Structure 1
Amino acid sequence: MTYLREARALATATIVNYVPFVRAFLNDRFGKGRVTLSRLCAGDVVRFAQRQAQRMQPKRAKLLTAALRSFLRYARYRGDITLDLSAAVPVVANWAMPSIPRGIAPDQTRQLLASIDRRSKTGLRDYAILLLLARLGLRAGEVVSLELGDIDWSAGRLCVRGKSTQCNELPLPADVGKAIATYLIRGRPRSTCRRVFLRARAPITGFSGPSGVGSVVRHAIQHAGIDAPTRGAHQFRHGLATEMLCHGASLGEIGELLGHQHPQTTTIYTKVDIKALRTLAVPWPGGVQ
C-alpha cells in the first residue's frame, strides 16, 4: 500500500478497491498454499482476468485489470518476478461514452430533500450530505473524507480531496453551509474524529468508505418513495452536470466544478443535451420524408 500511495500517488479509495482483486487473484492461483510469485506466468494472469471479467460490468472489469497491472508491476519492481506480466493483462473493451448518464431530475431532488426529517440528529446529517451531493456534485468518497479543517467559513469555501491527493477548492453555497453548520451544532455527536460526518451508531467515527454515503442516499430515496434513476450517490453528480449544461454552462465550467482531471471525462454530458444536439443535425436532403 505504501508503494501505491507514495510511488504511484494513488488515492486511498483506489488502493482499497485494488486490494480485494489482488487477494482474489493470489487465492485463485495458490489457494491455501504458499504464495510464490516467481511461479506466476502469463497464462495465470490471462485466465483469471478473462474468467472474472465475464461476470462484471465493464467499469468494474477495468478496475480489476488496473489492480492486476499495478500489482504485477510492483512484484517486478521488488524482483519477485522477472517478466513484465502486467503486459499480459487483457484490455477490457470500452466503447467511448456507451450510455447517457442517469441523473436525478431537479424536481426529484427537491422532493427528496423536503422528505428528510430535520428534527432528528440523523436527519440533520443526511440533509447536509444530500445537499453536498446535489449542489456541488461531490463524489461519495469526497463527502466521506471531508474534515472540519476543510471548511473555510470566513471565505465561504470548501477544500475537496478528489481522486488525486490535490485539494479542489469550491465555493460553499449559503444553503449548504447552513445545513452543515446546523448539523455540527445540533446533530453531530461528540468525538475526537476530525471527519465532518460521523456514524449515528457506535463506534462514533467517520464512515468507513463511500458505501456509507450510498446507504444514506438509498434509505432517503426509499423513505421518500421516489422513482429515481438509480439508488446511488453518483446520480446527483450527473443530475447537476445535466442541469448546468441545460442552463448554458460550458463543459469547462462543469469539469472544473466536478473536479475532472481530463476534459474527455466531461464530454459524456454532451449526450444528454438533446435539444442542443438537434441544432447541429444536418437537414435531410429533399425535406422531411
Structure 2
Amino acid sequence: MQAYVEYLREARGLTEATVINYTPFVRSFLEDCFGNGRVALSRLCASDVLRFVRLQAPRLHPKSAKLMTSALRSFLRYVSFRGDVALDLAASVPVVPNWSMPAIPRAITPDQTRQLLASINRRSAVGRRDYAILLLLARLGLRSGEVALLELEDIDWTEGSLTVRSNSGVFNELPLLKDVGRAIAAFLRHGRPPSTCRQVFLRSKAPITRFRGASAVGSVVRHSIQRAGIDSPTMGAHQFRHGLASEMLFRGASLGEIGELLGHRHPQTTKIYTKVDIKALRMLVVPWPGGER
C-alpha cells in the first residue's frame, strides 16, 4: 500500500484527495482476497475482482461505487506495470451502472413558499436580511453559494439586473425582479450593519463580516423553515431552485428558458425537471382495463 500511494503521488501526480479516496477501497480489496495472510498478488484472478465488486457495490452510493471501481482499475494497472500479475486484471473490473436522472427533484410547493415568506418578521434587521435571501432563492432560483457571493457591485439598480457568480467563476446576468429589488433595498437601508465588506449579506452577530459560504445561507433557510413550522421536502436551500423550475414548467416554460434562468451549462441538467410534470405524464397513462381503478 505504501508503494502504491507513492506511485499515485509521484508518478501519477494525483491530488491528495484522490489518494485518500482510493486507498480504503484498495485496502479492503486486498483484505478480502488475502485476509490477514501474506499478500501474493500473483495469485489474483478475475473472479476475485468480480466477487469483490459484486459484494461491495450494492452497499454503496452509486458515486462511491464508481469511485471504488476507479480505484481498483488504478491499483490493478499499477501491479501489472510492476509485473506482479501476468493478466490485465484492470479490464475485469465491471462497470457500475449510473442511471441518468434517477430521482425526482424534491421541490418546495408554491403554497409552502408563500407561507414561509409571510412568516418572516420584516420589522427586524435580521428578518429583512433573511426575507431578501429567501426571495433570491425562491424567485430567481439562486444557489446558496451564489447568494453568499453576491456583492454590492453586482446589483445594477439602473438597468434592473443582477450579476450572479458561481464558485467556479462563471457569471450569469438575471433580471432584478421588483419584489426582490425592494427586499434587498429595504435590507441595505434599514438592516445591513456598517461594514467595509462588499458582500451584500453579512453575519448578524459579531464579528460582523461576510457569510463564510453556502452553509450560512443553508442555516438561514433551515432556521426559517423550523420557525414557520413548515413540513417542507427538505431543510436545504436547493428545494427553492427545484420549486421554481417545477412551477415554470407547469406554466409552460421551455426547458431552454428554465436552464437559462438557472444558469445550467448543459441541457441534460435541465431535463431532470421533465419528471415533475405529473399532469402531463398522466395524459400518457394507459387506462386500467375494465374501468377506473
Same fold (TM over 0.5): yes
Q: Is the 8 Å Cα contact of residues 133 and 237 (structure 1) preserved in structure 2? A: yes
**1:228 matched residue in structure 2:** 232
Are residue 267 (structure 1) and residue 271 (structure 2) matched?
yes
State the Cα distance separating 1:94 from its structure 2 match: 2.3
State the Cα distance separating 1:26 from its structure 2 match: 9.0
Q: 103-112 or 272-281, which moves further after superposition?
A: 272-281
* Amino acid aligned to 2:267: P
Q: State the TM-score, normalized to the length of structure 2.
A: 0.70
Q: State the TM-score, normalized to the length of structure 1.
A: 0.70
Question: What is the root-mean-square deviation in Å for CA atoms of aligned residues?
Answer: 3.8
Q: Is the 8 Å Cα contact of residues 152 and 158 (structure 1) preserved in structure 2? A: yes
**1:124 matched residue in structure 2:** 128
**2:204 matched residue in structure 1:** 200
Mapped to 2, the partners of 1:116 and 1:20 lie a distance apart of 44
State the Cα distance separating 1:55 from its structure 2 match: 7.8
Mapped to 1, the partners of 2:289 and 2:128 lie a distance apart of 59
Mapped to 2, the partners of 1:98 and 1:182 lie a distance apart of 41
State the Cα distance separating 1:124 from its structure 2 match: 0.8
Q: Identify the match of residue 147 of structure 1 among 136, 146, 151.
A: 151
Deviations 1:115-158 (A, max 9, x none): 11111111111000000000000000110111111110001000
Mapped to 2, the partners of 1:194 and 1:227 lie a distance apart of 35
Structure 1's 27 and 203: CA in aligned 2 closer, same or farther, altered over 3 A?
farther
Structure 1's 56 and 20: CA in aligned 2 closer, same or farther, altered over 3 A?
farther
**1:276 matched residue in structure 2:** 280
Are residue 110 (structure 1) and residue 119 (structure 2) matched?
no
Residue 228 of structure 1 aligns to a residue in which SS?
coil
Structure 1's 91 and 207: CA in aligned 2 closer, same or farther, altered over 3 A?
farther
Question: Any stretches of 5+ residues in structure 2 without a counterpart?
Answer: 1-14, 26-48, 75-90
Return the index of the structure with the highest Cα Rg.
2
Structure 1's 106 and 90: CA in aligned 2 closer, same or farther, altered over 3 A?
farther
Residue 269 of structure 1 aligns to a residue in which SS?
helix
- Within 5 Å, which residues of 2 pair with 1:182-193? 182-193=186-197
Are residue 174 (structure 1) and residue 161 (structure 2) matched?
no
Structure 1's 98 and 144: CA in aligned 2 closer, same or farther, altered over 3 A?
same
Q: Identify the match of residue 161 of structure 2 among 138, 144, 157.
A: 157
Number of residue pairs the alignment of both structures matches: 240
Structure 1's 58 and 233: CA in aligned 2 closer, same or farther, altered over 3 A?
farther
Question: What is the identity percentage for the equivalent residue pairs of Structure 1 and Structure 2?
Answer: 69
